[in-house]
Amino acid sequence: MGDETPTEATTSEPGPPSVGGARVAGFWLGAAVVGLALGLLLTFAAERLSGQGKVLRGVVLDGRSLGGSDEPALRKWASGQAQVVNQKPLELVVGERSFQVRPSELGVEIDVAATTERALAAGRMGGLGSQLGFWFGRLFAKHELTFVVKRDAAKFEKKTAELQGAALLLPIEPGVFFDGELRALYPEPFSTIDRPAFAAVVDSHLARAAQGAGLQVPLIATEPQITRAAVEAKLAQARQLARAPLVLVSADGVERLHFSPALLASAVRTRVDGSPSQLLLELSLEALAPVLGPIKKRLEKPAHPAGFDVDAQGAISVVPSATGFRIDEGVLLSELFRAAQSSERQGLLPLRVEQPVGLTETEAAGLGVRGLVAQFATRHPCCEARVKNIHSVAAQIDGYVLRPGDTFSLNQFLGPRTGEGGYVEAPTIVRGKMKATAGGGISQFATTLFNAVFDGGYEIVQRQPHSFYFSRYPEGLEATVSFPSPDLIFKNDTKSGLLIKTRYDATSIRVLIYGDNEGRRVERRVSARSHIVQPPLEYEPNADLLPDESKLVTRGQVGWSVMTLRILHYADGSNAEQGREVVYQPKPHIVQVHPCRIPKGMKAYTGETCPEPEEPPEEPLGEETLASESEAPAQLLPELQNKP
């Protein structure tokens, strides 16, 4: 056989993919992406639809997953957490001191409503893209929230200032003082609480519901605004002031006021004032009183306008006005500092002239106050608290003058009745009940003044009777006042002046009206009582009483109406009638009974049931029982029997 020559093996290279195959692959990849996106969108939409009104998935607060919680459940949980955090004291470290302070004392607390709103809003803010981003991000990580904290700024500032003081983080008040000799207190750097940083620390602590101890309160190092050199300058000025005696001399050279070095040194004071702050050297008038007091009594006198004097026989004379003199204390202190710089160490004693305000002597003489027009008096028991108020008002109004056409308001004249104004508490009618108030009893003065003006024939502008009748006043012709209303107002409707004078003693008050009422004569009339209203019955519970017992606390009084009439007879023979109906309310009988005996429907009704007695009890007093006092059951309330 012949040899055969071997041949090389042939291999085939793969060709490029066909265009049709690439398109198919791209189509399926795009479809997959679109399908995934569509699936995500559908899942997002489904979650949003099913989660309406609920917290979205992945939202966490204080370590608790809130996803799926609706508003009531979320608010309930947040309220519980807030209650724990809000009530737990904060341990605050201020400088070198520690304090336990409740959040409420700082005016801070977790805001449950705002926290709930924040949780429900998480992931729902912004546009669709933002919301999708939030939703997608929750697939991989939680969305951590903190509690919302609210703060009362004023309360926070007040407590912060208290903490600063308690921690002794207070600036040294630099200045000059006297402790037997004049010394200086120099300023030093000090620390204060950094308010904004402290607020941020507290807010952050509560927002995280943190329970840790020892919150460090941030401080700010502060340099004093007053320099050491400024204090030394004031010390030198104070020593110059008190190195030797000072003398102030009056302008006429008669009065000389001597101030010893020791007195001047003891009166030295300094204070920081202004912006920028500066140290001021002053003198205390109180410390200088041993020297100023006697000369003030001798030299000073108040200015007063012209007025009238009525002697024991009723003769009226004009009292001239008088110029007043007063030591000008502000100028006096300045003069002492000026005198200290002079070689003579002497200055001027400043007297200020004060001119009277009001009637001049000529005006008073021309008012035509000729004689007594009318007077009226009422009586009162001695020594009650209300008497002090009556006398106080009488003293204030004594000598008051109304010019022709002037109107007088008692409330405007007196102003509010307060303890600071010298009034004491005494019984007053307040909303139909007797209650102790400052100025109680002034209505007796008002009644007395009203009747004097009434009998003088002057115009009554405003007057309100009492709601209850008091036998010490003339029936139907009395007045009550209280600030700012009701008020007593009358007008001097004559061509002459009207002078009010008062006289009082331990048991009475009298008001006298002087002037010229142009011959008016007054006739007063009061009708018989009508529209009688029996006193109602009010029960008060008293558990110490047996169910069949009762006790009269206050005996009531009937109410009624009267018509009052003032007939004015004028000098020309004409007349005028002025009438008014006055209604007095009844005062209730107040009876104490066992709580179980108070009838249903009454204010003090308790619903308590009385124990069953062995014998039928007497019925408690009812409205119909006390239709008149004579019908009250003798076996229960003998106090109401045979009373006029």
Q: Is pLDDT above 60 for 440? A: yes
Assess contact for 394 and 339: CB atoms under 8 A: no
Q: Is pLDDT above 80 for 45? A: no
Give the side-chain half-sphere CA count within 13 A for 309. 9
Q: How far apart are CA 271 and CA 282, in angstroms?
A: 8
Identify the residue with better confidence: 41 or 18: 41
Q: Which of 115-119, 211-215, 494-498, 620-624 has the highest mean pLDDT?
A: 494-498
In three-state secondary structure terms, 443 is helix
Token pair recorded at residue 20: 């049709």
Q: How far apart are CA 374 and CA 478, in angstroms?
A: 16
Residue 279 pairs with which residues in a beta bridge? 272
Q: Is pLDDT above 50 for 392? A: yes
Q: Give the C-alpha distances (Å, rounded to integers) separating 558 from 464, 532, 563, 592, 642.
A: 20, 7, 17, 20, 15
* Mean pLDDT to the nearest integer, 6-19: 52
In the chain, the percentage of residues whose pLDDT exceeds 70 is: 87
Q: Please, which pLDDT band fits residue 15 given cuts at 50, 70 and 90?
A: low
**Nearest Cα residue to 482 out of 546, 551, 544, 435:** 435
Long-range own/partner contacts, residues 459-466 (CB < 8 A, 24 or more apart): 459/490, 459/491, 459/493, 460/489, 460/490, 460/578, 461/407, 461/489, 461/490, 461/491, 462/486, 462/487, 462/488, 462/489, 463/488, 463/489, 465/582, 465/584, 466/429, 466/584
Q: How far apart are CA 619 and CA 103, in angstroms?
A: 57
pLDDT tens-digit profile of 80-124?
Answer: 988 888 888 999 999 888 999 999 999 999 999 999 999 888 888
Task: State the Cα torsion 478-482-484-485 to the nearest 10°.
Answer: -40
Q: How far apart are CA 434 and CA 415, in angstroms?
A: 22
- Residue 276: asked if its preceding bond is cis (omega within 30°), the reply is yes
Q: Name the DSSP class of 631.
A: G
**Nearest Cα residue to 291 out of 349, 236, 217:** 349
- Which CATH number is correct for 228-358, 3.40.1350, 3.10.20, 3.30.1150, 3.40.1000? 3.10.20
Q: What fold characterizes domain 530-640?
A: Resuscitation-promoting factor rpfb fold (2.20.230)
Question: What residue ranges do the domains of the chain occupy?
Answer: 46-171+190-222, 228-358, 367-518, 530-640
Alpha helices in 208-270 (DSSP H): 228-241, 261-266
Q: Please, which pLDDT band fits residue 428 given cuts at 50, 70 and 90?
A: low
pLDDT tens-digit profile of 321-340?
Answer: 999 999 999 999 999 999 99
In three-state secondary structure terms, 383 is coil
Q: Is pLDDT above 80 for 277? A: yes
**Nearest Cα residue to 359 out of 514, 499, 518:** 499
E-state strands within 284-343: 307-310, 316-319, 324-327
Average pLDDT of the residues of the chain? 87
Any idea which of 48-62, 516-530, 580-594 has the lowest mean pLDDT? 48-62
